[in-house]
Amino acid sequence: MCRPEERLRDGQGRAIRYLRVSVTDRCNLRCRYCMPEDGVDWMDHSALLSYEQIARLVGLFAQLGVEKVRLTGGEPLVRRGLHYLTAAVSGTPGIREVAVTTNGVLLAEQLPGLVEAGLTGVNMSLDTLDREQFAAITRRDQLPAALAGLEAALAVPGLKVKLNCVPMGENDGQLVPLAALARDRDLSVRFIELMPIGLGGGFPRRTEAEVLERLEAAFGPARPCPQDEGGGPGRYITFDGFRGRVGFISAMTHRFCDRCNRVRLTSSGFLKTCLQYDRGAALKPLLDAGAEDGVILDAIRRAIEDKPAGHHFTGPAGPGDEARNMSQIGG
């Protein structure tokens, strides 16, 4: 296990503890702010990192001080055998948390195997509880399956469950009902400001202040509550009578770049150090060429040393800005 003085730090002195790993660019939904209706050109399976390659990279990141891994997509549950990867990651020395971000549609079926493999947390994306609106946003009529996945996750003792909603104008009327899910459940309902990446740039954004105003009108004054361990970006509150809590991840109006502790590994093996930029390191070619661990570790260190100080989403576009949709980057 990495000692604190050996922990990987970027050029700004930020310790990197958290690795988000996209296992696929494919998804079984077509959310309008994330993917075109006809989808995108999927990568050939040969272009994806194998589970063995992902497990090896996780081991190297753990040597450098990473403690938490989140498996993402696309939709990670559409890739077969995710429980095998979950077991490999959870068994890596130094890794304390293994979570998955999912739309929930396939979760009820796969959750038992994932939990047995060592899964410690589930983040589920859900923007509405209205079936017709869900179908309009996602272009798929899958709300019952998604809700079944949520209830299955909440039924697992000790599993950390968070629900992520993107306020985008058309779901304004669903913000209060979604937050109300935390009233009687051990659940964190989080509102995530839409970032202008890919198709997301064409949708209206609701700020943290606008959402909070709606919630306090419905539930009364908010009060602060314990924050996540590990320096995550969420700011959490609760209301009288609530068992769970409500959170905000507000990258646009409350920047948290100065305490960013994460990097992303795309499904094609590119180490992406900031969501906005295309800077990083292509690690899959090194793996495919049989590079030794030391060579890969050096590439990781160099990329993270060059991690940008922060995003400039509110400013003019730059030459190194990310142009892909979120499903291709890794959510």
Binding positions for [4Fe-4S] cluster are 27, 31, 34, 257, 260, 274
Interatomic CA distance for residues 299 and 305, integer angstroms: 10
- Annotated binding-site residues for S-adenosyl-L-methionine read 33, 74, 125, 195
What does the pLDDT read at residue 201? 55
Long-range contacts of 235-242 (CB under 8 A, 24+ apart): 235/208, 236/188, 237/212, 238/182, 239/183, 239/215, 241/183, 242/182, 242/183
Among 275, 270, 274, which Cα is nearest to 307's?
A: 274
Question: CA torsion sign, 210 to 249 to 159 to 227?
Answer: negative
Q: Is the pLDDT of residue 313 over 60?
A: no
Per-residue pLDDT band at 211 (split at 50, 70, 90): very high
Known binding-site positions for GTP: 20, 70, 101, 162, 262-264
> How do residues 27-49 score in pLDDT, each as one tens digit?
999 999 888 878 778 999 999 99
113-172 pLDDT, tens digit per residue, is: 999 999 999 999 999 999 999 999 999 999 999 999 999 999 999 999 999 999 999 999
Q: Which of 24, 91, 106 is nearest to 58 (CA)?
A: 91
pTM for the predicted model, two decimal places: 0.90
- Please report the DSSP string for 120-157 in residue order: -EEEEE---S-HHHHHHHHSS--HHHHHHHHHHHHTST
Whether residue 249 contacts residue 190, with contact meaning beta carbons closer than 8 Å, is answered with yes
Query: For residue 329, what pLDDT band results from cuts at 50, 70 and 90?
Result: low
User: pLDDT at position 230, please?
Assistant: 64
Confidence of residue 327 (pLDDT cuts 50, 70, 90): very low
Region of residue 291 (phi > 0: left; psi between -120 and 50: alpha; otherwise: beta): beta
The strands making up 68-72's β-sheet, listed across from edge to edge, are 223-224, 235-238, 245-249, 188-192, 160-165, 121-125, 97-102, 68-72, 18-22, 262-265, 270-272, 280-282
Q: Which domains does the chain have, with CATH numbers?
A: 4-329 (3.20.20.70)
d(CA 127, CA 221): 23
Q: Which residue ranges are tagged as binding site?
A: 20, 27, 31, 33-34, 70, 74, 101, 125, 162, 195, 257, 260, 262-264, 274
pLDDT per position as a tens digit, 166-206 = 999 999 999 999 999 999 999 999 999 987 666 645 667 88
CB–CB of 299/57 below 8 Å? no
